[in-house]
Structures are given as C-alpha cells and as structure tokens.
Structure 1
Amino acid sequence: MTTTTPIIVLDLRTVQDHFPGIGRYTFHLAQALAETAPAWRFVMLTQPGAINTRFDVTGLARRPNVTLHAVSQAIFSPQEQITLPRDLPPGDLVHFPYYIFPYLSRRRTVVTIYDIISHLYPAYLPSALHRVVFEITTRLALARAAHILTLSTSAAADLQRVYGVDPGRITVTPAAADGRFRPASADAIHALRRRLGLPPRYVLFLGANKPHKNLLRLVEAWAKLKAQEATPSAAAGVSLVLAGREDPRYVGIRAAIAQAGLQNDILVLGAVSEADLPVLYSGAEVFILPSLYEGYGLPVIEAMACGVAVACSNTSSLPEVVGGDAGVLFDPADSDEMAAVLRRLLTDGALRTTLQQTGLARARQFTWQRTAELTLAGYEKEF
C-alpha cells in the first residue's frame, strides 16, 4: 500500500445510454468508491459529447475527493488508442470498466471484464469480423491489465479456463441494486400501469434483445404456456412484458411474436427510464431472466430487491446470484421446462410469497459499499 494518498483514475465514458448495464455499474461504483474511501482521491474521466440521460455524472464532483476530467476521445474511436494515453491525468492506477481501452498506454491499469459471451457464443456476433475483433481486443485487455475485476466467481472461472488468467490477478466484486430498488406502493404501480399501458397482471423480462438473452425461446415457452389445458388457472389474463433497449443489430423478436399469434399476450415495451424501473419491477408477478449466459445478472438482484418472485436460468452466474432458495431455476434450452416453471409460479401464490421474502433477504446481502470495498482491495494489490 502506498504511504501517500492514493489517486485512482476511473473511466466514466461508459456512463452513457449506449451502455445500459455497464453504465449503471460504473456510475454506482464511482459513487460508492468516493463514499467508502474518503481519504483516497478519484479523478474521473468523462466524455461530455456522449448521450447520457440516466445518471448525474456532474453531481459526483460535489464530493471533495472527486475531480472530473473531460476527454474528447470516444470509446471505439481511433483517437482512444492514439491520443487518450497522453491525455490521461496523473494517478497511481487507471481503472477502465470496459475491455476496450488504450492498450498502448504505459500506465498501470485495472480492467473490469464482465463475461466472455462473445467467445462462448461467437455465432451471436453480427459478423466474422466482429468475432475476430472481440477475440483480439479481449486478449489485449487481459494481457495489458495489471489486475482484472469481474462480478462473479463464474466469470472469473471462465477467464481462467478459457484464457489462462492467473487467479491471483482476478478480484471478484459482485454488484448490487441501488437504494431506489425497493417495493413500490400500489398507487405508484397503478400510475405507471396507466402511463405505460401495462397489463393488469404481467411477467417481466428486462434486458437487451441480444441473442444470448434467449428471448425467442421465452416467446416459445409463453406460447406453450398459453396453449396448455391449465391455461385458465395459470396464464389467463397474464401478459409477458419485454422491457429494455432494443439493439437494431438484432431483429426478429417482434416477428416471432406475430408468427406465434401472441401480439395480444406479449408487450414489447422497449427502453424504460431509470426512474420507472423500480415500479416496473414491483408491479410484476414474476421476473424472468432466461439467458443462456450472464456474467452477473444485475436485473435479478434488482427484481429481488423490489419484492418480485424470480425465475432464471440455471447457467453461468445466475445460480450464484440467487443463492440456494431465492429463485426458481430452469434449463434455458428447454422451453417446456421454462413454461412449467412459469405455470407453477403463476398458480402457486404461496410459493411466490416465499420467493418474495427470500429474494428481499438475498438482495440485502449485496451492497455497493461492499462492491467498493472489494474493488479497493483489488486496487491495493497493485500498489
């Protein structure tokens, strides 16, 4: 540990609308680091030209140990590699919360790697060129960084198994739901239902429409649920709501809904404001995350924190997130099993109540202060 006041340069350029999940992680980490380590100094890189409608980055500078440092170099731009290294402010470490960063910089670097979805499911990338670029940049990030942060032991194990990363170079720093995520009042739920045109009863999915999110199979499971004889006691009057930013590179979900004749049973809501998310979660009878792979799965914790019964895949990090009894797990490759889990949750009110209670308790085990403490411990390994 350095004997002087540590100075950390933290890159906030992902706090923009293009990075919904990573931006949320980065912003709340920045807040928690400043609050948890008042004796440390944090110089936070911002990109004023980026579109950010969700988070008050300028408000971070109200803390005495935070300085904002504006840069013009955008993520993915050539300038990021060429000119950003010379524009980085002084500090003991630079933390890039995204695997694309200036690889030629000579500064001591920490990087957050969330998952290796693109390696495990390369067919889901838009083209062969994207696959090559992902592999090269991931390997550059892992080789260049002095230390690697990741959000789950599952993701850490993947980095060790696939890329041979020394476990001593990895620190696991689970994220948390921020304090706004708590059960909403009936009045707030009613108001949001009217404003967004939400159905009276719904199962909620929240996330991007990327292929690994497995939405096509979720639609297939919903069609099976609706077609089963038990429908009157299971899914009658219940709709499926798909919320989250729609990536224009991945199309087909709306066509699949139409082909299955489910236009009146599935609502594609699109992006939802940060202010509305806790109420949207709270109004759901069930939250479902059918992903084939998740490096962490923060929406599961947010749903549990809002008192919603959770069903999710039994793969990658998700069993680790829900713990032993805070959610019902299923095989994401099996639409019959997915439909059966939904039917069980929609018909068994006692089970939903139990999951609501265990989920609330489970969510309280994750805090941004703890995330910050683990992150600081990762930093300290490199001083």
Structure 2
Amino acid sequence: MRIGIEGQRLYRKKKHGMDMVALELIKNLQQIDTVNEYVVFVRPDEDNTCIPPAANFKIVELRSWLGYPGWEQLALPRAARKEGCDVLHCTSNTGPLFSKVPLITTLHDIIYLESISLFKKEGTWYQKLGNMYRRWFVPTVIKKSKKVITVSHYEKNRISSHFGFSDARLRAIYNGVGAHFKKVTHRETLAQVATKFNLPDRFFFFLGNTDPKKNTLGVLRAFADFNAQSTTAYTLVMLDFNEAELMRMLTALGHPELRGHIQLLGYVPNAELPSIISQCTIFLYPSLRESFGIPILEGMACGVPVITSNTSSMPEVAGEDAALIIDPFDPAQITAAMHTLVNDRDLARLLSERGILRAKEFSWVAMSQNVLELYQEVYRELGTGVAT
C-alpha cells in the first residue's frame, strides 16, 4: 500500500498542536511500519530536517502561489495522484474537495461549526479567516472521506451528532504525549534552562494564546485575584504571546500592574519545554473547549500538579483523580484551585504522582498503530468494494 500523508506546515519552525500530532504520527510510523510505502507532502520552509529519513518514506515539497487553499485544493490532490497513492490522509481538519485518491481525514474538532458566540466575537483575523475556510470546506470533505479520525470520545460524539455519522466511518484515536516529557531532575540542566529563559523562583505555567477557547482572560483575572490575596507573590510564565495583546487584555481587566508579574518567554522549542515545566509550581490548563488537550498530559508527565477544566474532552483526558478539575467559566474557581495547590502540598504531591501514572496511559506509538490499522482497513475495503 502507498499512503499519502498531508503535512503542509511541518517544515515551519514554529509548530503547534496539529503540526506536532502529524509529526509524531510520521516519526512513529517510521518505527513500526517498514512494509508500506509513504509519501509525505509538505510546503517548503526552514525546518526541513524535522522528518527523519526512512527507506519507505518519501518527502515531496509542494509549492503554491495561492496560499493555503491553493496548496490544499489544487497542488495536494494532483501530487497525491501523480505519486500513485492508494489513500491520502489529511491530518489537519480539512482536505481537498476533489481528490481522485480516497481520503482519510483527521477532524480534530468542530468548534468552528458550533454556534458559540464566544468564539465568534474574539480571536485574530487570521483565526477568523481560518474558521470561515473550514466552515465552507469541512462538511463536504468529511462526507467524501472514507474514514474520519478524531481524538476523543467527546469529540466523536459531537461530530457524530453534527454530521449523522455511523461508528463505521468515525474513529476516536487518542493522541499521545512525547517520550521526552518527563520530570527533569538533573540540577545542571535545570539551572541552564532557568538561566537561558530567566525563569523566576516561583511561577505558574500557562499555555495561553489569543484563541478565545484558551481562556486567557479568565486565567489573567484569576491570577490577578490570587496575587492580590496571597502573601507570597508568584509569576505567571507564558509562551509565545504578543506583548501588545497582553497589555490590551490586562488593561481591559483593569490590572495593567499585573504585567510586572507575567513573564513572556516567546517561542520555546518543544524539546526544551520539559525542563521549564518541571520547575513550575502549577501547570494551568483551564481551557473552555478542547477536542483533546495534549498539554494536560505534558504537565502531568513532568510531575507537576495540573489545573484543568470540567468541560468537553478535558475530564476524559485528565482522568478522575489525577488533576484538579474546575469550571473554567468561573475565574474564582481557578483562583481557589491555585490557593489549594500552593497551600496543600500533600495534595499537590499526590496529584503529581497520579499525573505521572495517568500520562503513561497515552503514547504516540499506540496512536500510530491505531492509525496504521485504519489505513489497512480502508485499503481492504477499497480492494473488496465494501462501501464506507
């Protein structure tokens, strides 16, 4: 079988979310499958060594002067057919409308199809345009796909309800957590990272961005209340966040003075995150809506107590007793959870221990094996003429 994998953004330096999932899939397929042939379609960019070489993997760089839509709708299906692919796996929610090669699509979430005013009013123009593109294309692409992969049973139920899919076409396959995410105890490594990023002695770690679902405003409000109530000041460490956007949020909240208690690290390579996370007091992930929530597992794997949400997929991923679960729409609950973990060190230690065990239940090897089995299932069905 010759399998095409869409990886348009894998060569960009700043990888996020779906990019990392696709990259982990490819790396692990290289380890577990030496029989089938793979063609990975990417867009040229600076990080062109991120995919290791493998005898049965071919990398095809595709260019398009029509941006993301042109690459996906024109260049990708043409190249997949030219390469003789038996199936084409589109990894990031969308795919070509007119593909002669049978499609498998990973639909991480359908947030952009849900009528939630919160997600319509906020966010950058880039995010809004991306949501509009997906709203136009996804329904048709999904209907044409032989199989659809999603990342949690929560999201599977949402997709099934929205599109009326049967279980035969829709598969929930959990994401994993990178093997390098583990508690770092080597003092010299910790000291080097602390110096490199000028880490404070006491800090909470928050992976927030401008996407409204990440609940950045709620976290900032909760953190402001925590510092006002606490006798010991903490710093909030955030990654890759725009300074001007942060000040806009703090001003809107009436807490511009909080800027002195927030440290923006910029973009941090994934390989360096464990050494930062391992030094924080609390890992904050009180998102409003997630299809999975990989950072929950990353914080747990590093042995740090995690605060996360009681909404969407997050309880499914965090488990029953391995994280402190709160209502993310109530900043007071986030503040109270911060106080609880700072003051109750026995509970913090217990959650750290349980979190490490919980994270071990998810692996990229298992995810890739499940995806490979789905490839084989589709191939058999195509060969036998079984309708999907």
Q: Deviations over 1:279-322 (max 9, x none)?
A: 11111111011111011111111111111111101111111111
Q: 109, 118, 125: which one pairs with 2:112? A: 118
Give the equivalent residue in structure 2 for 1:344.
340
Q: Deviations over 1:27-46 (max 9, x none)?
A: 11101112112222212112
Unmatched tracts of structure 1, length 5 or more:
1-5
How many Å separate the matches in 2 of 1:71 and 1:133?
20
The verdict on how the C-alpha distance between 1:133 and 1:125 changes in structure 2, with shifts beyond 3 A counting, is farther
Give the equivalent residue in structure 2 for 1:82.
74
Matched, 1:287 2:288: no
Q: Give the % identical residues.
A: 25
Q: Deviations over 1:165-196 (max 9, x none)?
A: 22221111211121111111233222222221
Structure with the greater relative contact order (CA < 8 A, sep ≥ 6): 1 or 2?
A: 1
Once the two structures are overlaid, the 10-residue window that deviates more, 72-81 or 201-210, is: 72-81
Question: Quick check: 1:152–1:317 contact (8 Å CA) kept in 2?
Answer: yes
Give the equivalent residue in structure 2 for 1:186.
187
Once the two structures are overlaid, the 10-residue window that deviates more, 267-276 or 126-135, is: 126-135
Letter of the structure 2 residue corresponding to residue 213 of structure 1: K
Letter of the structure 1 residue corresponding to residue 337 of structure 2: V
**Local SS of the residue matching 1:263:** helix
Post-superposition offset of 1:355: 1.0
Mapping of 1:357-376 within 5 angstroms? Answer: 357-376=353-372
Question: Quick check: 1:8–1:95 contact (8 Å CA) kept in 2?
Answer: yes
How many Å separate the matches in 1 of 2:129 and 2:315?
33
Give the equivalent residue in structure 1 for 2:384.
none
Q: Deviations over 1:147-177 (max 9, x none)?
A: 1111111111111122222222111121112
- Number of residue equivalences: 365
**Local SS of the residue matching 1:329:** strand
How many Å separate the matches in 1 of 2:28 and 2:241?
26
The verdict on how the C-alpha distance between 1:369 and 1:244 changes in structure 2, with shifts beyond 3 A counting, is same
Give the equivalent residue in structure 2 for 1:211.
212
Give the equivalent residue in structure 2 for 1:102.
96
Post-superposition offset of 1:237: 3.0
Q: Deviations over 1:312-350 (max 9, x none)?
A: 011111111111111110000001111001110111111
Question: Quick check: 1:215–1:253 contact (8 Å CA) kept in 2?
Answer: no
Q: 224, 242, 253: which one pairs with 2:246? A: 253
Post-superposition offset of 1:18: 5.6
Once the two structures are overlaid, the 10-residue window that deviates more, 323-332 or 30-39, is: 30-39
Mapping of 1:12-161 within 5 angstroms? Answer: 12-15=7-10, 16-17=12-13, 19-48=15-44, 50-52=45-47, 56-57=50-51, 59=52, 61=53, 63-73=54-64, 76-88=68-80, 89-120=83-114, 121=116, 122-123=119-120, 124=122, 126=124, 132-161=132-161
For normalisation by structure 1, the TM-score amounts to 0.89
How many Å separate the matches in 2 of 1:181 and 1:79?
33
Post-superposition offset of 1:269: 2.3
Matched, 1:325 2:321: yes
How many Å separate the matches in 1 of 2:241 and 2:259?
19
For normalisation by structure 2, the TM-score amounts to 0.88
Q: Which runs of 4+ in 1 moved over 6 A?
A: none
CA RMSD of aligned residues (A): 2.1
The verdict on how the C-alpha distance between 1:131 and 1:96 changes in structure 2, with shifts beyond 3 A counting, is closer
The verdict on how the C-alpha distance between 1:222 and 1:94 changes in structure 2, with shifts beyond 3 A counting, is same
Q: Deviations over 1:112-165 (max 9, x none)?
A: 111122223441455676654331122122112111111111111111122222
**Local SS of the residue matching 2:171:** strand
The verdict on how the C-alpha distance between 1:245 and 1:173 changes in structure 2, with shifts beyond 3 A counting, is farther
Unmatched tracts of structure 2, length 5 or more:
380-388
Give the equivalent residue in structure 1 for 2:296.
300
Post-superposition offset of 1:375: 0.7
The verdict on how the C-alpha distance between 1:223 and 1:198 changes in structure 2, with shifts beyond 3 A counting, is same
Question: Quick check: 2:152–2:173 contact (8 Å CA) kept in 1?
Answer: yes
Question: Quick check: 2:109–2:155 contact (8 Å CA) kept in 1?
Answer: yes
Letter of the structure 1 residue corresponding to residue 228 of structure 2: A
Question: Quick check: 1:13–1:75 contact (8 Å CA) kept in 2?
Answer: no
How many Å separate the matches in 2 of 1:131 and 1:47?
21
Give the equivalent residue in structure 2 for 1:270.
266
Question: Quick check: 1:125–1:131 contact (8 Å CA) kept in 2?
Answer: no
Letter of the structure 2 residue corresponding to residue 12 of structure 1: G
How many Å separate the matches in 2 of 1:252 and 1:69?
37
